[in-house]
Amino acid sequence: MTIIAEGVSRSFDGVDAVRHVDLEARPGRVTALIGPNGAGKTTLLLVLATLLRPDTGRISVAGFDPATHTADVRRRLGWMPDSLGAWEGLTCRTALALTGRMYDLPATEATRRATGLLERHGLGAFADRPTRVLSRGQKQRLSLCRALINDPPVLLLDEPASGLDPAAQIELRHFLLALAAEGRTVLVSSHDLDELGAMRPDVVFVQDGRTAPAESVTRALTARRGWRIRALDPTALERVLPELGVAPYDAVFRRDGELVIPFDSEAQAADALARILGAGIRVSAFAPAVGELEQAFLDLATGRASTSPSGPSHHEPARPGAGAPVTTFPRVPQAPPPAPGRPPETSGGIPRPHDGAPRPHDAAVTESGAEPRPPAATDVNDAGPANTSTDTPRSDS
């Protein structure tokens, strides 16, 4: 159930949102899709989710092309947008059950799964309350439930931790790792690099609509890193630096006697710690100064991921070193909004079948009893459900 993209591009009115993307997300692994705002991550996820058609390139999701075998992809896919689009007048249980019905689940099975997912993700008390009463974090949980209603082997998650409190973020991390351990393919886009890094994911870096070469990402993840050391006697720690092979100008002193020293690897850092302790210096803190994924992001985003095998020298963790050849990415303007009077490329909604028969997603029920809104236009053929939001494609993430 691998996801493969090769040379994928997508533009809006002549403006490139995705210029050239290559990626592979494997079963049994969490793959992190990271990059600055406006990099094209959300547009790419919409393409993979069958909600946008690519201009160029080849895509395979679970062995099927989303553009030509849309129904086959959607049956195997769980899609969690960054903002929940839900029927605000429906209860959480009913909203999930309707999504299950769109996957052709029998009514009793759809309700059973909806109830189980709500209980599993801490929303059991809200099962029979309208979705409009949910907080931002609770809506994220409901959106995840909706992505799981069809028990998919492939998951596309756009900012799943947004709005979650710290405890819920940790719970989400463990849950996603458990899903991957079951053999599912989990592709996650997020700006929470600490949480992503804790999952030790495969990494795909996107900037200005392009993916960084795999070797650049690997080099950034294994580059020289700063480690912070706090000793009860900072002066004694400073005296031992020459024995560690650390030049005085390589060390960065911080307040409270904390010292940041660059090491080429964890093994080198561990050896240095052993020598410091062996010198009788009492150490109260020893850890990486910046998370591995955060530092790699900085290296790649600033174009400082060296193409030299030795990599750059990082004198201070927040400021990666320079001087070696770098991988750079050209700037691309953000995609403009749709022209007045023109329907958006996609609203993330479920399109109406060609025979005109309504689908459950068309019934946008409101408390005021307003008429259901017509489904938004998309540029793909309707081929069954994809868990979607009502948001238009964005170019800001």
Let me know if residue 366 belongs to a domain. Answer: no
Let me know if residue 208 belongs to a domain. Answer: yes
The answer on 228 and 203 residing in a single domain is: no
The answer on 197 and 63 residing in a single domain is: yes
The answer on 167 and 19 residing in a single domain is: yes
The number of C-alpha atoms within 13 Å of 4 and in the hemisphere containing its C-beta is 9
Beta strands in 224-382 (DSSP E): 225-231, 252-253, 258-263, 283-288
Let me know if residue 344 belongs to a domain. Answer: no
Which of 274, 301, 328 is the last residue before a domain boundary? 301
Q: Given 3-state DSSP classes, what are the helix, strand and coil percentages for the chain, each rounded to the nearest 5?
A: 35, 20, 45
CB 96 within 8 A of CB 145: yes
The three-state DSSP-derived secondary structure of 324-354 is CCECCCCCCCCCCCCCCCCCCCCCCCCCCCC
Q: Is the pLDDT of residue 174 over 90?
A: yes
pLDDT at residue 193 in the model: 85
Confidence of residue 253 (pLDDT cuts 50, 70, 90): low
Which of 273, 301, 329 is the last residue before a domain boundary? 301
Let me know if residue 285 belongs to a domain. Answer: yes
The answer on 173 and 53 residing in a single domain is: yes
Per residue in 357-366, pLDDT tens?
Answer: 333 333 333 3
The answer on 286 and 141 residing in a single domain is: no
Which of 271, 301, 331 is the last residue before a domain boundary? 301
The residues that bridge with 326 in the sheet, in sequence order, are 306
Per residue in 193-244, pLDDT tens?
Answer: 888 888 889 999 998 899 888 888 877 787 778 888 898 888 888 888 888 8
Q: Residue 46's closest CA among 292, 302, 394, 316?
A: 394
Q: Is the pLDDT of residue 27 over 60?
A: yes
The answer on 204 and 230 residing in a single domain is: no
Let me know if residue 126 belongs to a domain. Answer: yes
- Rounded to whole angstroms, the Cα distance separating 375 from 362 reads 6
pLDDT at residue 41 in the model: 94
Model confidence, pTM:
0.70
CA Rg, the chain, in Å? 24
Domain containing 293 — which CATH number?
3.30.70.250
Q: Where are the alpha helices (DSSP H) in 103-191?
A: 107-120, 136-148, 166-181
Tell me the CA distances in angstroms from 234 to 104, 229, 241, 331, one per residue in order: 67, 9, 11, 45
- Rounded to whole angstroms, the Cα distance separating 235 from 58 reads 59
The answer on 7 and 116 residing in a single domain is: yes
**How many domains is the chain partitioned into structurally?**
2
Terminal Cα distance for the chain, rounded:
26
- Rounded to whole angstroms, the Cα distance separating 288 from 290 reads 5
Q: Is the pLDDT of residue 312 over 70?
A: no
The answer on 266 and 161 residing in a single domain is: no
Q: Residue 296's closest CA among 228, 210, 189, 204?
A: 204
Let me know if residue 376 belongs to a domain. Answer: no
Domain containing 203 — which CATH number?
3.40.50.300
pLDDT at residue 249 in the model: 62
Let me know if residue 397 belongs to a domain. Answer: no
Which residue range forms the structural domain that includes residue 94? Answer: 3-212
Confidence of residue 53 (pLDDT cuts 50, 70, 90): very high
Structure tokens at 379: 């540029």
Tell me what the pLDDT averaged over the chain comes to.
Answer: 78
The average pLDDT across 142-150 equals 96
Q: Is the pLDDT of residue 382 over 70?
A: no
The answer on 176 and 226 residing in a single domain is: no
The answer on 283 and 161 residing in a single domain is: no
The answer on 111 and 59 residing in a single domain is: yes
- Rounded to whole angstroms, the Cα distance separating 65 from 62 reads 9
Confidence of residue 304 (pLDDT cuts 50, 70, 90): low
The answer on 206 and 91 residing in a single domain is: yes
The average pLDDT across 308-326 equals 36
